[in-house]
């Protein structure tokens, strides 16, 4: 039996093997993780209004059952309590220093020439 060699449009064998990267990538178009059919978050958000079969009360939705479970867990788990507090009250921002009249600037300059230029500008010299 003679084996026939397949050639690409340029007359070469490159990319003709079924396991070549080009042929394997043909099935993948776009970002499959961002595809709405595969989005776990979209599915979970859609379930929040549905009745939860695992809840104590059969009339509870997933959202209500999860809220109650989170509140119960916060009674015994410090990490859950901190996360719940941050979500309800918002995270407290820690001041770095300075005030409205004298703000603090953080400047990252990797080159030595850039550092010298920043020092000149901060000291009031011109550019």
> Per-residue pLDDT tens for 35-83?
556 678 888 899 999 999 999 999 999 999 999 999 999 999 999 999 8
63 within a domain of the structure (yes/no): yes
Q: Which residue range is the domain that position 74 belongs to?
A: 41-91
Per residue in 82-103, pLDDT (tens digit) is: 988 888 888 777 666 667 777 7
**pLDDT for 31 beyond 60:** no
Q: Are 114 and 108 in contact (CB under 8 A)?
A: no
In a domain, 54, yes or no: yes
Distance CA 82, CA 75 (A): 11
Q: Would the CA dihedral through 78, 82, 84, 85 be positive or negative?
A: positive
Residue tagged 């953080």 (tokens)? 106
Q: Is 7 within the bounds of a domain?
A: no
User: Would you state the pLDDT for residue 126?
Assistant: 66
Q: Is residue 35 a part of any domain in this protein?
A: no
Length of the chain: 127
pLDDT of residue 61: 95
- Position 52 in a domain: yes
Is 60:54 a contact under the CB 8 Å cutoff?
no
Is 49 part of a structural domain of the chain?
A: yes
Domain count for the chain? 1
4 falls within a domain: no
Contact 15, 26 (CB under 8 A): no
Residue 38: the pLDDT is: 66
Tell me how crowded residue 104 is: count the other CB atoms within 10 A of its CB: 9
Pick 30 or 18 by higher pLDDT. 18
């Amino acid at each position: 039996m003679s084996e026939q060699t397949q050639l690409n449009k340029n007359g070469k064998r490159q990319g003709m093997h079924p396991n070549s990267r080009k042929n394997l990538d043909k099935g993948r178009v776009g970002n499959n993780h961002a595809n709405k059919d595969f989005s776990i978050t979209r599915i979970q958000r859609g379930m929040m209004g549905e009745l939860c079969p695992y809840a104590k009360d059969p009339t509870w939705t997933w959202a209500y059952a999860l809220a109650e479970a989170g509140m119960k867990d916060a009674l015994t788990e410090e990490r859950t309590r901190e996360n719940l507090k941050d979500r309800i009250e918002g995270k407290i921002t820690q001041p770095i220093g300075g005030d409205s009249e004298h703000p603090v600037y953080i400047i990252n300059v990797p080159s030595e020439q850039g550092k010298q230029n920043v020092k000149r500008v901060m000291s009031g010299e011109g550019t």
